[in-house]
Amino acid sequence: MRFAPFIIAAAALLPGCAAAKPCNAPVCEARIVKAYPHDSNAFTEGLFYRDGRLFESTGLNGRSSIREVELATGRVLRSVDVDSRYFGEGIVDWGGELISLTWQHGIGFRWNLADFRQTGSFRYPGEGWALTRSASEIVMSDGTPQIRFLDPATLKEKRRITVTENGQRISNINELEYVKGEIFANIWMTARIARIDPKSGRVKGWIDLSKVVADGSPGGEDAVANGIAWDARHDRLFVTGKLWPKLYEVRLVPAKT
């Protein structure tokens, strides 16, 4: 969404994490395993890892793009510009397709994953912030406490959940990643990732990115943590932020209380 980026990757993603307070969801700390180069001009909005390849979308009008990036070097291997009328947002893969959102125009696009050729478009109400997917559904955030679940074939909405912790709604749900049956979500303008139950919307836990942000953010209000990708085959979690010069692999450890 709008203004902020960063990347993390983690092995052993879901250890037993310590509870921060008796009534609050447990908190894990993201510790850096490895740092990779990242394009510091990339206003990161979406991120996913598939078959050894890293895909990223960037935002801002006139600067929005979809790209394949070499993880080890940060080099952009190929890219396509999003029409300059649009502020590009999240991306996700489905089969041989890549699906992307725009922020405030209510239009998304379908692309051929193999060559980034645009093959179609679709409409949705409200804003578009981020995308991820389960085995059967496309999952979308719009900046509100609600998360939408879309039919992959039609991209029509099937259902919604409201994200809450202790009955309180959590706003600014941003970049998403589906990890081991949970939805990981950056909370915009914070150094936190929420771990969300995809059935109930309840926040099951938090990931504290403070140390990653301290290492990676160049400073400035827009350079926020945003971008989560999971390498399921090797159990690695990656994160980055808007305009960050690094992308990170991290592991999660119980937070000290």
Query: What is the CATH classification number for the domain harbouring 152?
Result: 2.120.10.30
Q: Is residue 7 part of a domain?
A: no
pTM score of the predicted model: 0.90
Instruction: Return the pLDDT at 222.
Output: 87
Instruction: Return the pLDDT at 221.
Output: 85
Which residue range(s) make up the domain with 152? 18-254
Q: Is residue 2 part of a domain?
A: no
Residue partners of 254: CB distance under 8 A and separation at least 6: 15, 16, 17, 18, 26, 28, 29
Task: State how many domains the chain has.
Answer: 1
Residue 50 has pLDDT above 70, yes or no: yes
Q: Is residue 13 part of a domain?
A: no
Structure tokens at 124: 């949705």
Q: Is residue 1 part of a domain?
A: no
Instruction: Return the pLDDT at 254.
Output: 81
Q: Is residue 44 part of a domain?
A: yes
Across the range 68-96, mean pLDDT stands at 96
In 3D space, the residue among 2, 6, 9 whose CA is nearest the CA of residue 238 turns out to be 9
